[in-house]
Chain A
Amino acid sequence: MSTTMIKSRQTEKEINGVRTQVVCTEFSNYIFIVLTQYGKIGTLVSVTPESQSNDVSMPMFSTKVLMGKDEPLTHVCAKNLATCVSQEAGNRPVLLGLALKDSSIEAVKLMRDLIKSCQVW
């Protein structure tokens, strides 16, 4: 009896001097990513690819804050971090837990790389 049905990977790195943790978990219908500088889930955002007929190569994404700070920057960060994950994971939606002290563009770029290093999809 295998104890692991759910595949997950995690890593940790200092980004601009702030300890940053990532845990990526694969579900058949979702990729769940926790990206945190506080050690907790924080704001929970779902990033879903929209089915669009006119251009298949450039899908649109909709973001919805399920819990926490529903402000424009949350949506921008979530899209920035999760879009390529969703595309690589066969257009699966991404559930993203974000608890960031630093949401500068430089930091977000480094976080995107950190997420990629925990690829489970």
Chain B
Amino acid sequence: MSGAQQGGAFDAIAVHNFCEKISEQVIHFHVMKMNGGFFLWVGSSPTLSNLAVSMNSKFDAMPLSMLLMGDKSETAPNSLAQRLAKKTKKQVFVSYNLPVVNTNLALQVEDRIKKEMGNHPEHF
């Protein structure tokens, strides 16, 4: 295949959706798996209100993280991206579209993501 000769020897981008009822609301998850990383969107309505990126660095035990879009005072997208990058060793993009006041919800959301990663590692 000429695609492989061109250095295109990577898997096709794969999209995976799942959802979970957490604290009386349905939370949707949308994952796009790419070559060496993934994009994860979390929310209960279909908006894209922020975007954080994180990846590991050999100079620091904690992955580097940066907010690319959205309100800089919101730490949820950054910290989620950072923790997922640490867990997966991949480049991680996160868009977190849930109320940030509820830290318990954020923890439950993170647990749900990690559960999905455990059950379906092929999607991340």
- Residues of A bordering B, CB below 8 Å: 1-6, 8, 10, 12, 14, 17-19, 21, 23, 25-30, 32, 34, 36-41, 44, 46, 66-67, 95, 101
CB distance from A105 to the nearest CB of B (A): 20
Kindly identify which residue among B15, B32, B35, B47 contacts A38, using a CB–CB cutoff of 8 Å.
B35
B69 touches A46 (CB 8 A): yes
Residue numbers of B with Cβ under 8 A of A are 2-3, 6, 8, 10-13, 15, 17-19, 21, 26, 28, 30, 32, 34-37, 39, 41, 43, 45-49, 51, 53, 66, 68-69, 91, 93
- Choose one: B2, B37, B39; the contact of A14 (CB below 8 Å): B2
CB distance from B112 to the nearest CB of A (A): 13
Q: What is the bound-complex CA distance between A12 and B3, given in angstroms?
A: 11
Q: A2-B19, A3-B18, A23-B13 are in contact. Are A29 and B49 (CB under 8 A)?
A: yes
- Assess the A39–B35 pair: CB atoms within 8 A: yes
Distance to closest chain A CB from B41 (angstroms): 6
Contacts A5-B28, A23-B32, A27-B46 given; does A17 touch B69 at CB 8 Å: no
Q: A34-B32, A46-B69 are in contact. Are A41 and B37 (CB under 8 A)?
A: yes
Residue of B nearest to A46 (CB): B69
- Contact (A27, B35) CB under 8 Å given A37-B8, A39-B11, A67-B53: no
Contact of A44 with B68 at beta-carbon distance under 8 Å, contacts A17-B2, A27-B47, A29-B47 already known: yes
